[in-house]
Amino acid sequence: DGGITQSPKYLFRKEGQNVTLSCEQNLNHDAMYWYRQDPGQGLRLIYYSQIVNDFQKGDIAEGYSVSREKKESFPLTVTSAQKNPTAFYLCASSMTGTDTQYFGPGTRLTVL
């Protein structure tokens, strides 16, 4: 069953802690993306990666980091430098050369 999986579904962390969100896809897509969704603001791009071992900052990359060591995986780390990390995080992927993105179910992060 092809698709994008994100784990965990809900995540709680204390202030000052780093936390890593998982994103895996078995669609054989080259490109992967991380978005943050806040009420009334739509989706904002954090990082994206077109190929393995390469990634670029999106519009709101400060306080976040990513890696792309495997085609299937694009984990996002929310660092303690992120001032307002409580949000819903969505991962997406797409085939090279196309704009149509497919989304995972999301991870809701709450900082206590």
Partner 1 sequence: AQSVSQHNHHVILSEAASLELGCNYSYGGTVNLFWYVQYPGQHLQLLLKYFSGDPLVKGIKGFEAEFIKSKFSFNLRKPSVQWSDTAEYFCAVSAPGGYNKLIFGAGTRLAVHP
CB half-sphere exposure, 87, CA atoms < 13 A = 20
Q: Is 11 in the site for partner 1 (CB under 8 A)?
A: no
Give the interface size with partner 1 as a residue count (CB under 8 A). Answer: 26
Q: Is 45 in the site for partner 1 (CB under 8 A)?
A: yes
Q: Is 42 in the site for partner 1 (CB under 8 A)?
A: yes
From candidates 11, 43, 52, 61, binder to partner 1 by CB under 8 A: 43
The SS3 assignment for 99 reads coil
> What does the buried/exposed string (b/e) look like for 33-45 if buried means 16 or more CB atoms within 10 Å of the residue's CB?
bbbbeeeeeebeb
Q: Is 60 in the site for partner 1 (CB under 8 A)?
A: no
Instruction: State both tokens at 52.
Output: 């393995």
Identity of the residue, 22 or 50, whose beta carbon is nearer to partner 1 in the bound complex: 50
From candidates 89, 104, 107, 109, binder to partner 1 by CB under 8 A: 104
Task: Report DSSP letters for 26-88, one per residue.
Answer: -S--SEEEEEEEETTTEEEEEEEEEETTEEEE-TT-TTEEE--SBTTB--EEE-TT-S---EE
DSSP code of residue 19: E
Q: Is 56 in the site for partner 1 (CB under 8 A)?
A: yes
Smallest distance, partner 1 to C-beta of residue 44, A: 8
- Rule CB under 8 A: which residues touch partner 1? 31, 33, 35, 40-45, 48, 50, 56, 58, 90, 92, 94, 97-106
